[in-house]
């Protein structure tokens, strides 16, 4: 339960930081600026086009694309570590280091997206995380998502990645055919990755 409280604080803090006025130091940024701050690079995958970003209270995201055939949507959520503010109230232990938050955020995000439902996840082998994403850690999960997150698509494949000192990033592939999502994700997941 503690990891969910931390997750909600982080998400609310991040959303608030994005909605501040531009003259304040932590104001809104474009997706390109956010990528730069996180030390990441992105190229829109072939067969996809940009779609409008809409506020989502389950998990805010900063960029979205849809396949030209309309069967797959990808939402991108990036947390640069220098933007993360930890409000941690536990007198028995210290607040986690930003580079260790992914161990709390990843299961917390999956729980939120699935509405306390079931999900399956596994870590990428370290060499594959490095090869695909230039990440120190990466994982993938599959689940059915709640309608509040996606009224159009019921299945999700989530690719998460973390690089020490830089950011946590999430690619949420949405569709109605999990097998098809797996094929698409395998083809385009490396479109978002950390810079060398």
Segment 40-62, tens digit of pLDDT:
999 999 999 999 999 999 999 99
- Go through 30-62 and write b for each residue having 16 or more CB atoms within 10 A of its CB, e for each that does not: ebeebbebbbbebeebeebeeeeeeeeebbbbb
Domains of the chain: 2-194 (3.40.1000)
Q: Which residues of the chain have pLDDT under 70?
A: 1-28, 83-100
C-alpha–C-alpha distance, residues 8 and 183, integer Å: 31
pTM of the model: 0.83
């Amino acid at each position: 339960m503690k990891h969910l409280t931390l997750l909600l604080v982080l998400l609310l803090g991040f959303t608030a930081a994005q909605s501040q006025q531009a003259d304040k130091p932590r104001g809104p940024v474009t997706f390109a600026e956010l990528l730069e701050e996180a030390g990441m690079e992105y190229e829109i995958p072939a067969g996809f086009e940009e779609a409008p970003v809409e506020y989502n209270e389950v998990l805010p995201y900063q960029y979205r694309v849809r396949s030209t055939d309309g069967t797959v949507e990808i939402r991108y959520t990036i947390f640069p570590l220098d933007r993360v503010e930890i409000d941690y109230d536990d007198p028995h232990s210290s607040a986690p280091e930003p580079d260790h938050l992914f161990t709390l955020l990843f299961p917390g995000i999956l729980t939120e997206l699935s509405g306390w439902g079931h999900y399956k996840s596994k870590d990428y082998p370290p060499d594959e995380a490095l090869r695909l994403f230039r990440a120190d850690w990466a994982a993938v999960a599959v689940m059915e998502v709640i309608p509040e997150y996606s009224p159009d698509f019921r299945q999700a494949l989530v690719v998460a990645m973390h690089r020490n000192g830089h950011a946590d990033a999430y690619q949420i592939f949405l569709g109605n055919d999990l097998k098809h999502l797996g094929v698409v994700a395998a083809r385009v997941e490396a479109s978002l990755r950390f810079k060398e």
